Structure formats: C-alpha cells, structure tokens
A and B are shown apart, each in its own frame.
Chain A
Amino acid sequence: RKEVEQDPGPFNVPEGATVAFNCTYSNSASQSFFWYRQDCRKEPKLLMSVYSSGNEDGRFTAQLNRASQYISLLIRDSKLSDSATYLCVVNPYSGNTPLVFGKGTRLSVIA
C-alpha cells in the first residue's frame, strides 16, 4: 500500500461546481497534513494545512479523519483559476521531517 493515495482524476468540472478530493494515508502515527497546489510546470505551493477540527479558507474546506486515516479537500464555486493539480501531503513524523506526497489529482475547471 502506498503511503499516500489520492483519487486518480482527472476531474473536469464546470465553473461554479463543487468538487471534492479524497486522500488516504497508511502511517497512523502521521503528525501533520497539507494540501498543496501545483500549476503546470511550476513548483508546489501550500494551499492549506489540515487540522482534526477541520478548517476553511474561503471556498476551500479541508477535513481530517484520523481514525479512518482520511483527508479531504472541498472546493466550492469552482473558478477557472482553480485548474491545477492538487497534492495531498503528509508529514509522517514530528518535527521538520521530509514530506510524503500523493501522486496528485488534476482538476480542470471548464467555462
């Protein structure tokens, strides 16, 4: 089983749609969780951290279920500019240790 697994995608959605990405991780001791966004041929950029209580940033909502080892990202009212690859990222250990990335899920928002 891979350490971090994501929906394979790609997701093609119309503007204004709500889209959800799911991710599971294998190491139950993992300490911190993130969603990164990566535009084509660019570097990954931190979109948001994910907390057990759930967190929201504008149109983006992230959820963490430690019991199920499951992370989600919800994007409401999709914009054309949301088109990118979304990477689920886990830090398996405490402290500043290497990040473990999923393969990413490509989102295309269509006018």
Chain B
Amino acid sequence: DAGVTQSPTHLIKTRGQHVTLRCSPISGHKSVSWYQQVLGQGPQFIFQYYEKEERGRGNFPDRFSARQFPNYSSELNVNALLLGDSALYLCASSLAASGVIDTQYFGPGTRLTVL
C-alpha cells in the first residue's frame, strides 16, 4: 500500500512569493495534519483537517492556509513568503475517528527554501 505522498519534494522560492504544497493521505485515512519543521527543531503543528473541515490550527500567521478535498487530499498554502518560512513541511495522515487516539503517519515532506 502506498504511504502518505507529498509534492513537490523540494522547492525554492523568493521572499514575497506564494507556495502551494500538496499531500495525499494513506488510502482510507480521512484526517490530514500539517507540520513545519525548522532545522534543529521538532515539527510544529500548523493545521488539522478531518472530513474536509478544519479541526485545529496552530500558532501560525494568517499567511498560512489549508484545505482538504473530497478525496481527502490536502493543500497547504503560504503567502508572502519570508526567509523564516524555510523549513521541511510534513503532512501526516490518520484514520481519525473522532475521540480515538490514532497513529499519525508522516509523508516524506516538502523542503522549502526561501531566498
């Protein structure tokens, strides 16, 4: 079975530009979460979606937005890129029935470099 897939794998942008990152969860998984991992730090939660609805938002500015599609894939959008947005962006999927502690499986990530 295919795991979580993300695209693109690498991306280079300049300050002020906008970027869209994509994630396809494991087949049958309905929840997708996005994390940002800056070099030398652990991943930080950005968004969680379940059944196309936002279920949680981390402490990130409004330049960050996301959505989930009917097929449960997801996009993360970042506007007006800053140098500090350079990071590995990780997508995690889970079965996520509400109220159930569930394992999150991570995709390989998109490495974003902002110049």
Residue ranges of B at the interface with A (Cβ–Cβ < 8 Å):
31, 33, 35, 40-45, 48, 50, 56, 58, 88, 90, 92, 94-109, 111
**A91 CB within 8 Å of chain B:** yes
Chain A residues in 8 Å Cβ range of B102: 96
Instruction: Verify A44–B106 contact, CB threshold 8 A.
Output: yes
Chain A residues at the B interface, C-beta cutoff of 8 Å: 4, 31-32, 41-46, 87, 89, 91, 94-104
A interface, by DSSP: helix, strand, loop or mixed? loop
Q: Chain A: which residue is nearest B31 at the CB level?
A: A96
Residue of B nearest to A97 (CB): B56
Taking a contact as CB atoms closer than 8 A, the residue among A95, A96, A98, A102 that contacts B58 in the complex is: A98
Q: Which residue from A32, A42, A94 sits with its C-beta under 8 Å from B108?
A: A42
In the bound complex, residues from chain B placing their C-beta under 8 Å from that of A100 are 45
Cross-chain contact of A44 among B43, B48, B56, B58 (Cβ < 8 A): B43
Q: Are B45 and A43 in contact (CB under 8 A)?
A: no
B101 touches A98 (CB 8 A): no
A103 touches B42 (CB 8 A): yes
Contacts of B100 in A (CB 8 A): 95-96
Q: Are B106 and A98 in contact (CB under 8 A)?
A: no
